[in-house]
Structure 1
Amino acid sequence: MKTMKTMKRAVRIAYCNYSLFHHFFIFFIFFIPPTLLSSQELLWKAGVHAFFDNTEFANASVQSSQTMAGVHLSPEIGLGWQEKHRIYVGFDAMHEYGSPQTVDYVDPILYYEFSGHPFTFYMGAFPRQLVLDKYPRMFFQDSIRNYRPIINGLFWEYQRKENSLNIWLDWTGRQSRERHEAFFMGWSGRYNWSLFYAQHFGYMFHFASLKDPVVSEAVHDNGLVWTSLGIDLAPQTAFKKLEANMGWSVGLDRNRDENVWHTPQGFLSEVKIEYRGLGLFNTYYKGKSQQTFYNTYGNSLYWGDPVYRSKEYNRSDFYIQFLKTKSVELKFTYTLHCTERQIFHEQAFYAVIDLNNLKTKRPDKKDKYLWDNWF
């Protein structure tokens, strides 16, 4: 009964959010002064992201079997001026396959963007895929992309050629009697020289108690960093991807009532190979069990893949990239998870369409596929 009430309340909130931003959307279109529109550039974006992800983890202690399937619709309209400044308003509406609801989740989109080489800056509620898609699954599991598509905060990046440095903030929970106060502070960067590169990813997650809790709860700090060195041979070959890296990860977990830092560490490596649409992405971890307080707080405290609670884990993604352009991506992946002396399976298919009227000097790169002459 409590679960049903919670679901009904979530649907009512989603409907209210949708209604509010629907009216704001109409206001934005029809009531902006014509003189303002004539001096600026009217922008638009439209995205449809469909996903199907089935995991089979029977008898595993570190992960559970589940099927995630649904489709996102994310329209945006905006104004641009001086070629560097833009503001956007829109929403991300998600329908889960099999759900009786037309819309299961709605997230508002409203942000400012500055894009002036070598700097990029976002502030507001903006799509996650714009800024954090390179983070390893140890930091953010796949379900975050599917069910938490919007960042509420800011992102700043310096990028010159292939070298980059960024910092970001994502406020994920406003404190209430039903919701914990929570936010991320993160940073990452990459430096290239010739065929070699160094990269670093990190964040700190602050997880506080509910407002006026019946039972006192401790504040938790959950941090994670990974630094690696790699080599990228793809530019010297016919491969689209041909690289490998290896490095060291350190978790930082603290219950402030105990005031003791737990620092699980381990070796983490990646191998990426892709040739004409066929690819392999392999990840290997060996070290201490991550996510110290997972049994108490679960995914509320940890957004990374819980399979890294294993002391040894290998993930092999075999994929077919049917098509990838600036506006369309079709991809199927079959994954083998090797941990706890067992092999587990996963199948995923993604169809992503992103359209916009943004002017760009970068041409749409034409990839070659093994099946180009089959039809």
Structure 2
Amino acid sequence: MNKLILVISLFFCFLDSKAQMLEWDFGFFGFADNHEYSASDRDSPTLIGLQFSPEVGLLVDSTHRVRFGVNILHEFGSSKISSKINPTIYYNYTKKSINFYMGVFPRVGLVDGFSRALLSDTLQYYRPNLSGMLFRYEKKHIFQQVWIDWNSKQTETQREQFLVGLSGNVKVGDFSFGHEAVLWHNALPKNHDATIHLQDNAALIGWFGMNLSPHVKLDSLALSVGGLFSFSRDRSLGYWTTPKGLIVEGHIAYKAFYIHDVLYIGESQAIALGDSFYSESKYNRLDLGWEPFRKNRLSAKLVLSFHFTPGAIDNQQALNLRYNIGAKHKLKDNWY
């Protein structure tokens, strides 16, 4: 840790101190997510808790940023003050169309928009940070992003695990073309027996969408259709399984209210970190949502979800509240 602090201090010595800003942020995220999945014989947990995520750091020339902090999770009903503590420490480079992160940094605002088929929405509760790197290129009509999240280091008893993500889209008028992909690599521990196998799991969504919002008297109206493909292999067996299916998605919003619907029809999927409902050959999720606050610093969302699978109807109620405060202070010349 002392060596890291020294390296960061030397780094800033070579930069123009006149443009340095001391930054701080304090984040609060409260969630209550009740799953009622007994109709389809799935686990039905109630996930409820709070996250506190203070950060402090330096911004240089509006380009280079270093941040230190922590994300503290407290789950309601736990006798512990903290159920989990995640360190936050990262470097961020931002200039024109380029955004680059390296370290342990928050997933919110970066990879939280992925389809639930690929990444379950419960990851935001228990894996709030990514450990690795992220590169984003963004212009008015083009968006591309790639990242790696290192989850586990190989030891004598612990597997090496990492997740790679790729997403992007191109907009042409009211139309857009996009893709999302993930690769989950689950390697072996150093000491392993014949019952433990190396596993690869990947999934891809390619889609075509239409934004009809400018043509209707609604705040938002969007439709998309695409294909979901996954690829799984247990290297002890030596062959890949490649299920595929069709995804149709629609979104309607008016003022603080919205309806979001996702329909999947196809073969049973087994995506490592995806929503388990996509293991069904036919699945429809209907969200009825209310967002009374949609500001940069404060956002709140209440959602009632219905999950339709063959022979069963499950439901889910979720409340998310996110609040951030922060400030910037210009530092004096030669403060170091």
Q: TM (normalized to structure 2)? A: 0.91
What SS is found at the alignment partner of 2:165?
strand
Return the alpha-carbon distance in structure 1 between the equivalents of residues 171 and 18 of structure 2: 43
Structure 2 residue aligned with 1:331: 301
Letter in 2 for 1:53: D
Structure 1 residue aligned with 2:30: 50
Letter in 1 for 2:84: Y
Indicate how the Cα distance of structure 1 residues 39 and 358 shifts in structure 2: closer, same or farther if over 3 A, else same.
closer
State yes or no: 1:201 paired with 2:180: yes
How many angstroms does 1:130 deviate by?
2.9
Letter in 2 for 1:222: N
How many angstroms does 1:218 deviate by?
1.5
State yes or no: 1:171 paired with 2:141: no
Return the alpha-carbon distance in structure 2 between the equivalents of residues 44 and 288 of structure 1: 48
Return the alpha-carbon distance in structure 1 between the equivalents of residues 198 and 122 of structure 2: 25
- Deviations 1:83-111 (CA, angstroms, capped at 9, x unpaired): 11101000000000010000110000000
Letter in 2 for 1:97: F
State yes or no: 1:306 paired with 2:276: yes
What SS is found at the alignment partner of 1:138?
coil
Structure 1 residue aligned with 2:45: 66
Q: Which moved more, 1:207-216 or 1:134-143?
A: 207-216
* Structure in which a larger fraction of residues adopt helix: 1
What SS is found at the alignment partner of 1:357?
strand
State yes or no: 1:222 paired with 2:201: yes
> In the alignment, is the contact (CA less than 8 A) between 2:157 and 2:192 conserved in 1?
no
> Within 5 A, what are the aligned runs for 1:257-296?
257-291=236-270
How many angstroms does 1:131 deviate by?
1.0
Structure 1 residue aligned with 2:290: 320
How many angstroms does 1:241 deviate by?
2.0
Return the alpha-carbon distance in structure 2 between the equivalents of residues 64 and 126 of structure 1: 30
How many angstroms does 1:343 deviate by?
1.0
Return the alpha-carbon distance in structure 2 between the equivalents of residues 120 and 329 of structure 1: 24
Q: What is the aligned-residue identity percentage?
A: 28
Return the alpha-carbon distance in structure 2 between the equivalents of residues 289 and 313 of structure 1: 10
State the number of aligned residues: 323
Letter in 2 for 1:257: S
Return the alpha-carbon distance in structure 2 between the equivalents of residues 358 and 216 of structure 1: 54
> In the alignment, is the contact (CA less than 8 A) between 2:67 and 2:88 conserved in 1?
yes
What SS is found at the alignment partner of 2:277?
helix
Structure 2 residue aligned with 1:150: 129
Letter in 2 for 1:113: N
How many angstroms does 1:275 deviate by?
0.5
> Within 5 A, what are the aligned runs for 1:4-23?
none
Matching residue within 123, 127, 130 for 2:106 = 127
Return the alpha-carbon distance in structure 1 between the equivalents of residues 158 and 73 of structure 2: 22
Letter in 2 for 1:83: S
How many angstroms does 1:163 deviate by?
1.6
How many angstroms does 1:259 deviate by?
1.4
How many angstroms does 1:216 deviate by?
4.4
Structure 2 residue aligned with 1:367: none
How many angstroms does 1:176 deviate by?
2.4
> In the alignment, is the contact (CA less than 8 A) between 2:39 and 2:314 conserved in 1?
no
Return the alpha-carbon distance in structure 2 between the equivalents of residues 145 and 162 of structure 1: 28
What SS is found at the alignment partner of 1:319?
strand
How many angstroms does 1:214 deviate by?
4.1
Stretches of structure 2 lacking an aligned partner (at least 5 in a row): 330-336
Letter in 1 for 2:246: F
Letter in 2 for 1:46: F
How many angstroms does 1:246 deviate by?
0.5
What SS is found at the alignment partner of 1:259?
coil
Letter in 2 for 1:41: M
Letter in 2 for 1:124: G
Matching residue within 82, 105, 127 for 1:103 = 82
Q: TM (normalized to structure 1)? A: 0.82
